A and B are shown apart, each in its own frame.
Chain A
Amino acid sequence: AQKITQTQPGMFVQEKEAVTLDCTYDTSDPSYGLFWYKQPSSGEMIFLIYQGSYDQQNATEGRYSLNFQKARKSANLVISASQLGDSAMYFCALETGGFKTIFGAGTRLFVKA
């Protein structure tokens, strides 16, 4: 069975500092994708970054990078130079089989000025 685990219910970070949000996953499917989404208080899920199971390099998108450790089944999100607007819920998600995406419980990030 597929599973996504986010163990940090809440995280605090000082503005302009980097922060790592943890995500571990479990799947027996050799082909899968890992996603991170941001959900502000408005409710809309905003796509941040994607990592494929066969990708050799860690994904990066601007200030976002994904620290993919396949043997450990972890896919942590790193946000560099945090901004006040980064305060939101962050969800890690696992996609297998192309049509079903499983989301973790989320981590709420608070950025302090």
Chain B
Amino acid sequence: DAGVTQSPTHLIKTRGQHVTLRCSPISGHKSVSWYQQVLGQGPQFIFQYYEKEERGRGNFPDRFSARQFPNYSSELNVNALLLGDSALYLCASSLYGGGGTDTQYFGPGTRLTVL
């Protein structure tokens, strides 16, 4: 079975631009979570979606938004990019949103560089 896939792998943008990152969960998983991992730090929770509804949001500005589609894939959008948005963006999928033995499985990430 295919794991979590993310696209693109790498992305270079300039300040002020907008970016869309995409994630396809493991088949049968209904939940997708997004994390930002700045170089040298652990991942920081951005959003979780379950059955197309936002279930939780981390401490990120409104420039960050996301959605989940009927096929459970997801997009993360970031507007008005700042230099500090440069990071590895990780998507994780789980059956019901994680918790207990419902493990989150991560994709390979999208490395975003903002110049």
Contact = CB atoms under 8 A, between A and B. Distances in A.
B60 to A, nearest CB: 12
Contacts of A62: none
Interface stretch (B12-20, B39-47, B72-80): B39-47
Interface string B42-63: 1111001010000110100000
Interface in B24-48: 33, 35, 41-45, 48
Contact of B55 (A43, A52, A95, A99): A99
Interface in A42-74: 42-47, 50, 52
B88 A43 contact: yes
Interface in A90-105: 91, 93, 95, 97-105
Interface residues of A, number: 25
Contacts, number: 66
A4 B97 CA distance: 20
Contacts of B50: 99
A105 B41 contact: yes
A17 to B, nearest CB: 26
9 A-B pairs closest in CB distance: A98-B99, A103-B42, A45-B106, A99-B56, A99-B48, A44-B108, A43-B109, A103-B43, A99-B55
25 contacts: A33-B99, A33-B100, A35-B103, A42-B108, A43-B90, A43-B108, A44-B106, A44-B107, A44-B109, A45-B90, A45-B106, A46-B106, A47-B103, A47-B104, A52-B100, A91-B42, A93-B42, A97-B56, A97-B99, A99-B33, A99-B97, A101-B104, A103-B35, A103-B44, A105-B41
